[in-house]
Structure 1
Amino acid sequence: MDAATLGFSTQELLLRSSPVLYLPAGVLLCVGLLVVAGYHLMARTVCGRPEGCRAVRRACRLAVVPAVLLLVLGLLAGFEVIDAGPTGTPLLIGGALLLVVLARLLAVRAAGAPYPLTGERAALGIGVALIVLCSFWAAAGIAHRKGTADARWLAGHLTLRPAVVLDTTERLYLQWPGVEERALPDAGAGQRFRYRYRGVRLLAQAGDRMFLIPRDWTWEDGNVLVLPMDTAVRITFHPG
């Protein structure tokens, strides 16, 4: 048996064992799809009329003001001058870049010229790459916030996690408050399990590994026992 007692980040454990990590990326991709669809709809309908083209060009010039404001706020958040949370910086910077790229695309389209222009292809490529990077950055921040919220909630509702009676062939030396270790009596040659542990709960299961926590566990600095599911352990679950 190869068991390890580690100080895992609770948020990381919850994210690894939950599909919540994919939700922010999916939401951002859906937003990107709506932006692209809106751009093509505006380019075909509004820019198809002369008065519409003039209105689009004026709107694109005015879009510089909110784009600069978003960029400045994003940089201030990045240097921690203002507090924008874990997702504020990428959303502000990425939103500013996206607004500039879309405004430039619509302005050139309204003028009837192809885009990207020869001298702007490199800038467009870098801008798109930065927008994609900010999207992944924001998705990671949203997932981290979700993991933190789940960890805080779990710390106050540990009774909802299954209680575990753990029998092992080797002593684990768990010096955790509230965890009881007891040597099992020798019942003969067929008895392989020598130690029993009470006062632990199942945090999560990933593949062939279980993550066990003490019943007095806290999300900030609580211990986690990573235990393989093999013949060297025997697990009994019970409520409460």
Structure 2
Amino acid sequence: MDSATIAFSSRDLLLRSSAALYLPAGVLLCGALLAAVAYHLATRTVRSGAEGRRTVRRVCRAAVLLAVPLAVLGFLAGFEVVDAGPMGTPLLLGGALLLVVLARLLAVRTTGAAYPLTGERAALGISTALIVLCSFWTAGGFAHQKGHRDAQWLARNLALRPAVVLDTTERLYLQWPGVDERALPDPGAGQRFRYRYRGLRLLAQANDRMFLIPRDWTWERGNVLILPVDADVRIVLHPG
């Protein structure tokens, strides 16, 4: 196995995990962009005259009517009455609250007044904080769900990870199924390494640490060995 292949293998899961952060951020930015476009179109419609203002008011009422069932479903999902997945509750609650805020903003816009009104600033601040909280909640649920999928994928494709032969100066006492421990012969002075371990695979490498897993690792109850790469270990990587 050449160095380029090893480097790709050791960074593969880290890159997949990074997507768990980038994708929710991209979705949130796209949602903000759509909201800005909707506000711009509504503003132009309001300026077109009385009929335009009536159209915007009807859209606002429809948005509020849509927000009600979304909020109800969100609460039901939060109390596990319905199964909406790890992202369902924050998406439903945050989406409902966002629709209400946008509907109120556009409704006030049709009157020509500035938003927020004097008595609504605290409510707008609390609503914004709740929407941001739901956004972080959604990102956390997405990362949790994607982590489970990646772990299942890894368990099905362990042969793609580099196999590891590990020599150590001290016994690690790895009582893991599939991992073989053998004492190395002592040829005399100068031999520092005492134990050899086979049946491990390289999960990832970050700075001066390697993350090793057994060859029959499972995502439900798998073990991970975090190993500092220093003079007390000797590692050989080869194709799985």
Asked if TM exceeds 0.5, the reply is yes
* Corresponding residue of 2:144: 144
Residues 152-231 of structure 1 mapped to structure 2, 5 A cutoff: 152-231=152-231
Do the aligned partners of residues 18 and 63 (structure 1) sit closer, same or farther apart at CA in structure 2, a change above 3 Å counting? Answer: closer
- Distance in 2 between residues matched to 1:92 and 1:167, nearest whole Å: 52
* Superposition deviation, residue 17 in structure 1: 7.8
Deviation at 1:119, TM superposition (A): 0.6
Q: Any idea what the Cα deviations from partners look like across 1:31-85, whole Å, max 9, x if unmatched? A: 2331342134224321211121111012112221111110000000000000000
1:47 corresponds in structure 2 to 46
Root-mean-square deviation (Å): 1.6
Q: What stretches of structure 2 of length at least 5 have no aligned partner?
A: 1-12
1:212/1:226 contact within 8 Å kept: yes
| 1:15 to partner: Cα distance | 6.6
CA drift of 1:92 comes to 0.1
Q: Where does residue 9 of structure 1 map in the other structure? A: none
Equivalent pair of 2:63/2:103 in contact (CA under 8 Å): yes
Cα distance in 2 between the residues matched to 1:15 and 1:92:
30
Match of 2:7 in 1: none
CA distance in 2, matches of 1:122, 1:24: 31
Does the CA-based 8 Å contact 2:109-2:115 persist in structure 1? Answer: yes
After the TM superposition, which of the residue ranges 184-193 and 208-217 deviates more from structure 2?
184-193
Structure 1 unpaired stretches of 5+: 1-13
CA pair 17-197 structure 1, distance change in 2 beyond 3 A: farther
Q: Deviations over 1:173-204 (max 9, x none)?
A: 11111111111112332221111000111112
Q: Deviations over 1:93-128 (max 9, x none)?
A: 000000000000011011111110011101100101
Task: Using CA pairs under 8 Å that are at least 6 residues apart, name the structure with larger relative contact order, 1 or 2.
Answer: 1
Residue 33 of structure 2: aligned partner: 34
Deviates more, 1:182-191 or 1:211-220: 182-191
- Using the aligned pairs only, state the percent identity: 70
Aligned residues: 227
Query: In structure 1, how many angstroms separate the alpha carbons of the residues matched to 2:162 and 2:97?
Result: 48
Partner of 1:8: none
TM-score in terms of structure 2 length: 0.90
Q: If each structure's helix is expressed as a fraction of its own residues, which one has the higher value?
A: 2
Runs of 4+, deviation exceeding 6 Å: none
